Structure 1
Amino acid sequence: MHHARWTPSRRTLIGTTLLVGLSGLLTACGRPPALKTGPIDIGPPVTGGTLRIGFVGGGAADTLDGAIATNLGDVARAINMYDALLYRDDDFVLQPLLATSVTSNPDATVWTAKLRPGVKFCDGRPVTSKDVVASMRRIIDPDDPKSGAASLGHLREVVALDEHTVEFRLSQPDSALDDSLGQYSITIVPEDFDPAKPVGTGPFMLQSFTPGQSTILRRNPHYWGDEAPYLDEVELLNFNDTDALINALLSSQVDAVAQIPAALAEVIGSDARMQILNSKTGMWLPFTMRTDVAPFNDARVRQAFRLAVDRDQMVEQVLSGYGTVGNDMFASFDPAYPSFPQRVQDLAEAKRLLAEAGHPDGLSVELVTAPIQAGVVEAAQVFAEQAAGAGITVKIKKMDLTSYWGDYLNYPFSQSFWYTRNFLPQANSGAMPDSPFNETHWTDKEFVALVQRARGETNEAARNRLIEQAQKIMYDRGGNIIWGFANQLDAYQSYVGGLVPNATGLPLSGFQLRRVWIGEPA
């Protein structure tokens, strides 16, 4: 576990307002001079109790439908109330969940899922292949497509072969369909599912829900796992801003908080009552340049903007060192992630490219940002400072969350965030012409052809070569500035057990709360 040294710098200034707001509480805590090196021993798991989790965000649009989860609260509800057929474990390895196996025919046009026998929904009804068929049809419903529809657009037919066997018949080969079926949004629900009265197979079930405020989940008495959840209840609490969130943690109003600012990790972690969960992930916070509008419709301009970034400085100042440098390609945990020469800041070359593209006197652009994820607004501020050296004037337009998301696919230059995914699912969601979140409006024909070939390639080595070629196109002329991969930083009270580093990028051990318990220091 790496802890960046706490030294005065611009990252300190970035968090000044928050730190000032917390100074009284932090002083009252009487923190020791050194940061703890790891979790304390609270003994073996204990059954019972309520875990209170705080996070920033949420509002009137909060949902109980795991298939359309977007914000942190939605995702926490989705993972704990429902299950997918497969899931990604702490090391980002695909593992069985409701399915014991998901396998394909030789050309990857037909996939077969074997369901785990004996699984029941939280209302006691058995899960059958008919529920899986209904769940998939619900997700890809053309009149009301859910979040996972983009990766299942080639699903021609879903057939229940028997009570525990489901066949997925595709209109084109897809060697990574199992990866898509492992996304948390591909929830398996009953045939008669009603989001207003949600029924799932997850470790917890709904007790109460007030959008934008709180959710109470209670243990599912019919949970199928080898070990039932330790907790009786989980309470998910919304907070309006990070200051209020951290204050709630320090005043013991909550037991754990999702996503703390990197600049506060040392300060909070030095409180004897607190622990920091530091997970290395493939989460990325890109700057997105629309490749179909000026000035970013010129690849030379896009490359100049990438060369304006000092990536090491960005990781140090924005993430306080809690992250790794990026190279303008996503899917860093994918076995096919290539090792091209590391792009570094080159202001002279950036200026040359801008001049060649018709901007000899530099360029002025508006960067639209919002606090959509810890570090995003800070990254905008640091980028503006760095880009000035290349003759790029960046005017930051900061919006509130609701306004930002309302039009975010249309900004010429803005920001986004993505959790850990492998290349093909990520391309399906955000880099193809028909992707629902194609933030850069990327329509490169050579890239599209390579992705389509990779989807249909069942030989792993050959598929990885195709992915590397596609990544090279992104590296050379893509619309994302991928400057780094952020660690996921959460904080919790020392009496909380079962939280471990998790590579998915999702907070608090990937929100796998069935493993968490409330104990006492041994």
Structure 2
Amino acid sequence: MNRKTLVLPAVVGLLAPALAACGASGDESDGRAAIVVGTTDQFVTSKDNPAPLDPAIGYEAAVWNVLRQTVQTLTHVPRGGGEPVPEAAESCTFTDTQNERYRCRLRAGLKFADGKPITADDVKYSIDRVIRINAANGPVALLANIDTVETKGEREVIFHLRTPDATFPYKLATPVAGIVPRSKYAAKSARTGFQVDGSGPYTMKPEVENHRVVKVLFTRNPHYKGDLKVRNDEVELDLFPDAKKMGKALDGKKIDMMTRTMSPEQSRQLLENPENGINLTEMPGLAVRFLGFDTKDPAVKNKAVRQAMAQVIDRGEIASKVYGTTAEPLYSLIPSGITAHTNSFYNKYGEPSTAKAAAILRAAGIDTPVKLTLHYTTDHFGTGTATEFEALKKQFNDTGLFDVTVQGTPWEKYRPAQVRGDYAVYGMGWFPDFPDPDNFTAPFLDRNNFLNSPYKSDLAQKALIPQSRRESDRSASAKTFQRLQDIVAQDVPVLPIWQSKQYVASREGLTGVEWAVNSSADLQLWELADGTA
């Protein structure tokens, strides 16, 4: 979800000298031709998730980082940010003043990777398919405002929206709106397994062991026709079980770059003690971490409990002691760097205060200590998560107002349990689909929100969110978003904790690293090149 009126992803710092003319990929002794990128992302098929890489199903940053390389969208957010521009389309525009009708014209000669022509009917089929499948907690909410998709001839597609939505061009730039071949993707059912087919810059071939992807080879698509400039012929994505093993692979010249998610210790070490032959690139980050609440659960149903938690949490301590330079405190769902950000939680609660939290609980007639379990995933958001939740437990318990325990669960089981409502309090992260304030509010507060939260604000859903989407000039909606942030601080359906900074480590000789990950943590592998070439 990548929307732009705002942040231009500036490259903050290369800690080593300018990229040199030799690197792992250029070392003839290792016999590798492909640029190799490491990640700790995991892709597993299971009974609960048999089709993790289907664009109608997958709604995680890791999944989208595979889809973006292989499935083409009508628009895309250009390098460096800004308004979406045509990608598979040659032109796209709203054709009315209310932002309710959006027309795109396809590029001439557009083809899938197998050489078959792409027509407007393929675009309509792909969009209608996502809406028809309507996957629970999938990305369909991004397309929910589409009333009908109309085609004219072989190259023109017109989207008729139910309500005005100035963010729609950004939604079309996300993989949920990817164009897929109907011969590979059934109209009413998900495509199981790990294969992805489309018309993007690469074809892909996954290597699978025990229902788990261990590698993905991306090869330049000879039929690709779009706005992206592909600077390499092959990129191999290697999946590691943890950041430590990924780091050893970089040190051993087995990979050229390691990206999400480096551990805080790795980033800190490379910042303080740069290594010869390895560059550390810092990039803007918009990912946020927060506690979510099942607001119907008896333990946290009374918002006074949630407000008291917001009153005592020390975000600065979590950010500095657990994550160091890789995180900064967050006092709103909308992170700093995004238009309309305001520190609503700080404005309401100020500095951490046990006395104020006690007064909140006492006024609501709540007995203390309040017994809670904080749930977190052990293998999805990086190695610092367990340490973070131990620190949170200590902060809450040290007040004497709470009796908190923590429980870690692998993501494969954690996410289904969270969606079912098994957890009263749980930790989650959000990687934006597009960097617009809408994408940090609507997914949490609107109907069919991605947390499956029972929390509901009529003011947010029926008035403020629709009102914000009418504004083509996104800065004009700042006051509306301020009200949405204040509602979150008052009702605390979620409790923001910190926002990330992004670091990527790479071997000298690899160029394009500063563009290969954008502020929304999207991988853009086409930007990478071997500096020796």
The amino acid across from 2:230 in the alignment is P
SS in 1 for 2:105: strand
Aligned to 2:88: 98
Deviation at 1:64, TM superposition (A): 4.1
SS in 2 for 1:483: strand
2:418 to 384, 405, 408: 408
- Which is worse superposed, 128-137 or 45-54? 45-54
Unaligned 5+ segments in structure 1 are: 4-35
Q: For 1:396-443, what per-residue CA distance to the aligned partner results, in whole angstroms no more than 9, with x for missing partners? A: 1111222212212211100111113423234443322322x1354321
Going from structure 1 to structure 2, the CA distance change for 1:388 and 1:464 (only over 3 Å counts) comes to same
SS in 1 for 2:148: strand
How far apart in 1 are the matches of 2:80 and 2:355? 40
TM-score (norm 2): 0.83
Matched, 1:384 2:369: no
Q: For 1:261-298, what per-residue CA distance to the aligned partner results, in whole angstroms no more than 9, with x for missing partners? A: 12221324522122223222110011112222223222
How far apart in 1 are the matches of 2:520 and 2:235? 21
Going from structure 1 to structure 2, the CA distance change for 1:169 and 1:81 (only over 3 Å counts) comes to same
How far apart in 2 are the matches of 1:347 and 1:485? 24
SS in 1 for 2:181: coil
Report if aligned partners of 2:375, 2:427 keep a CA contact under 8 Å in 1.
yes
Deviation at 1:360, TM superposition (A): 4.8
Residue-pair matches, total: 485
How far apart in 2 are the matches of 1:331 and 1:363? 30
Going from structure 1 to structure 2, the CA distance change for 1:228 and 1:328 (only over 3 Å counts) comes to closer
Aligned to 1:15: none
Aligned 1:466-485 pairs, distance under 5 A: 466-485=480-499
Aligned to 1:37: 15
The amino acid across from 2:326 in the alignment is Y
SS in 2 for 1:200: coil
Deviation at 1:498, TM superposition (A): 0.7
Going from structure 1 to structure 2, the CA distance change for 1:278 and 1:89 (only over 3 Å counts) comes to farther
Going from structure 1 to structure 2, the CA distance change for 1:265 and 1:459 (only over 3 Å counts) comes to closer
Deviation at 1:245, TM superposition (A): 2.1
Deviation at 1:67, TM superposition (A): 4.0
Report if aligned partners of 1:311, 1:484 keep a CA contact under 8 Å in 2.
yes
Deviation at 1:499, TM superposition (A): 0.8
Matched, 1:419 2:443: no
Deviation at 1:448, TM superposition (A): 1.5
Aligned 1:33-432 pairs, distance under 5 A: 37-38=15-16, 40-42=18-20, 49-56=33-40, 57-61=42-46, 63-70=52-59, 73-89=62-78, 91-96=80-85, 97-99=87-89, 100-142=91-133, 144=135, 147-194=138-185, 195=191, 198-210=196-208, 211-225=212-226, 229-258=230-259, 259-268=261-270, 270-330=274-334, 332-340=336-344, 341-342=346-347, 343-371=350-378, 372-374=380-382, 375-391=384-400, 392-409=402-419, 410=421, 411-420=423-432, 421-432=435-446
SS in 2 for 1:500: helix
- Which is worse superposed, 112-121 or 58-67? 58-67
- Which is worse superposed, 328-337 or 287-296? 328-337
Report if aligned partners of 1:67, 1:146 keep a CA contact under 8 Å in 2.
no
TM-score (norm 1): 0.84
Deviation at 1:140, TM superposition (A): 0.8
The amino acid across from 2:122 in the alignment is D
C-alpha RMSD of matched pairs (Å): 2.9
How far apart in 1 are the matches of 2:34 and 2:288? 32
Report if aligned partners of 1:139, 1:145 keep a CA contact under 8 Å in 2.
no
Deviation at 1:333, TM superposition (A): 4.3
Deviation at 1:133, TM superposition (A): 0.8
How far apart in 1 are the matches of 2:374 and 2:150? 47
How far apart in 1 are the matches of 2:113 and 2:246? 31
SS in 2 for 1:201: coil
SS in 1 for 2:375: strand
Q: For 1:23-64, what per-residue CA distance to the aligned partner results, in whole angstroms no more than 9, with x for missing partners? A: xxxxxxxxxxxxx72453235999993022222222235744
Deviation at 1:90, TM superposition (A): 5.1
SS in 2 for 1:414: strand
Aligned to 1:512: 524
Report if aligned partners of 1:39, 1:494 keep a CA contact under 8 Å in 2.
no
Aligned to 1:16: none
How far apart in 1 are the matches of 2:79 and 2:355? 42
